């Protein structure tokens, strides 16, 4: 049996995220073209990586249909110009698709099946709304296997507010406003642009365009403005368009390699994989999923939550992140949490978001050599959570 090898995160990139729908900047741009643009950019940034050395391409999509279907990893690899010898596959774990693509190929690297792999995800929610074409088995309803609200992500967030009434709408709105402010500052500080891939867009009405920044952010958003928004999932509810991620289009991808292969080829190392965990929870409160998945990851690595110095938590809904922070006794405004803002501001193109978390964490690691470990975690539809722990290659010991 081969010895397990260390796995490193070489680099990651993403398209700017767009608003889903006919007015969004990617309304007439294909989903597969979005992921191809990111793969091409990663190869352009790393000429030291021979394309034939890539052993796998794993690309996630939640709605695997149309231009997000047909074994997307293989199709995207060919369209990106990789040699025909490079295989690829598609993967689906809803919101944690790209995260699962990373952990899947990382396992292959650790085992010795791969030396280098590309993992990522794409979601064009304007072309393919979540659930398009699905046919849920009637047993889910007839045998009451899950609460009917489990298939409506907004309702599961309302259920989470019900379970934890101290996680009020006011706290959710404050967290959401802070996310917008942090992303605006990150843009002003030049922290976001290095991760972005400029994408050519097309429009029958407006002609060709160029997407160079995220479309969803609302800088300057105030708690007072958020307080007046409608609650679409329940009368007098607590979940609004302001304290939840929107419907978005976008793609992400990253290069993973074994540590020895990275050294051989001269590839940079932005993070090292320490461990991960996935867990299932009651689908009607899917937002608590990152808590047991983080417990699994911590147990597998022998670490505690006190060892984590940076958190990249996907903001599908503010209440979901608040439930995680509350569980671990972390303040709502802890500066270690989503320093560059999160999905409430950037957007959440479902299966692509996991690698956005990782790419942002890698950038934050470079700014914080006093931090040894970081966590990327997210809730997942139909009642799951995913958590990945990373080590900072810039770690220089405890701060003086």
Active site residues: 95, 348, 379
Residue with tokens 């800088």: 219
Between CA 356 and CA 368 the distance in angstroms is: 18
* Encoded tokens for 387: 């958590």
**What are residue 288's phi and psi, to 5 degrees?**
-85, 0
CA 196 to chain CA centroid, nearest Å = 14
**Number of other CB atoms surrounding residue 40 within 10 Å:** 18
At 385, which helix (H) or strand (E)? strand 384-391
Between CA 116 and CA 279 the distance in angstroms is: 27
Q: Among 375, 358, 309, which residue's Cα sits nearest to residue 8?
A: 358
DSSP bridge pairs for 201: 209
**Number of other CB atoms surrounding residue 47 within 10 Å:** 7
What separation in angstroms does the CA of 333 have from each of 61, 110, 223, 311? 32, 36, 14, 12
Torsion of CA 192, 196, 200, 202, to 10 degrees: -60
Between CA 337 and CA 146 the distance in angstroms is: 32
Q: What is the DSSP string of 243-271?
A: SB---EEEEEEEEEEEHHHHHHHT---SE
Between CA 84 and CA 345 the distance in angstroms is: 38
Between CA 352 and CA 347 the distance in angstroms is: 10
């Amino acid at each position: 049996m081969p010895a397990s090898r260390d796995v490193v995160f070489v680099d990651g990139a993403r398209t700017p995220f767009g608003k889903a729908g006919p007015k969004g900047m990617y309304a007439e741009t294909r989903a597969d073209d979005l992921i191809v643009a990111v793969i091409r950019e990663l190869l352009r940034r790393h000429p030291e990586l021979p394309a034939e050395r890539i052993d796998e391409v794993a690309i996630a999509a939640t709605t695997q249909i149309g231009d997000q279907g047909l074994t997307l990893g293989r199709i995207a690899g060919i369209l990106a110009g990789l040699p025909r010898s490079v295989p690829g596959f598609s993967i689906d774990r809803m919101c944690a698709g790209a995260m699962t693509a990373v952990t899947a190929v990382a396992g292959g690297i650790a085992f010795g099946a791969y030396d280098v792999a590309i993992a990522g995800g794409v979601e064009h929610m304007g072309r393919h709304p979540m659930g398009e074409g699905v046919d849920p088995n009637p047993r889910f309803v007839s045998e009451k296997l899950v609460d009917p609200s489990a298939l409506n992500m907004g309702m599961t967030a309302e259920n989470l507010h019900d379970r934890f009434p101290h996680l009020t709408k006011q706290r959710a709105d404050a967290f959401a406003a802070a996310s917008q402010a942090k992303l605006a500052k990150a843009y002003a500080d030049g922290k976001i642009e290095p991760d972005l891939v400029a994408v050519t867009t097309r429009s029958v009405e407006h002609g060709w365009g160029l997407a160079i920044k995220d479309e969803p952010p609302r800088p300057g958003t105030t708690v007072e403005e958020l307080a007046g928004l409608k609650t679409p999932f329940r009368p007098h509810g607590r979940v609004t368009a302001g304290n939840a991620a929107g419907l978005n289009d976008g793609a992400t991808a990253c290069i993973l390699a074994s540590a020895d292969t990275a050294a051989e080829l001269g590839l940079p190392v932005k993070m090292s994989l320490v461990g991960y965990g996935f867990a299932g929870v009651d689908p009607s409160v899917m937002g608590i999923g990152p808590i047991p998945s983080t417990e699994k990851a911590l147990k597998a690595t022998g670490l505690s939550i006190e060892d984590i110095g940076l958190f990249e938590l996907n903001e599908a809904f503010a209440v979901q992140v608040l439930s995680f922070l509350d569980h671990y006794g972390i303040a709502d405004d802890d500066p270690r949490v989503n320093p560059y803002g999160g999905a409430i501001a950037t957007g959440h193109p479902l299966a692509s978001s996991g690698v956005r978390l990782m790419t942002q964490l890698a950038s934050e690691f470079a700014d914080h050599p006093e931090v040894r470990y970081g966590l990327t975690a997210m809730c997942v539809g139909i009642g799951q959570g995913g958590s990945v722990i990373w080590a900072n290659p810039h770690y220089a010991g405890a701060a003086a």
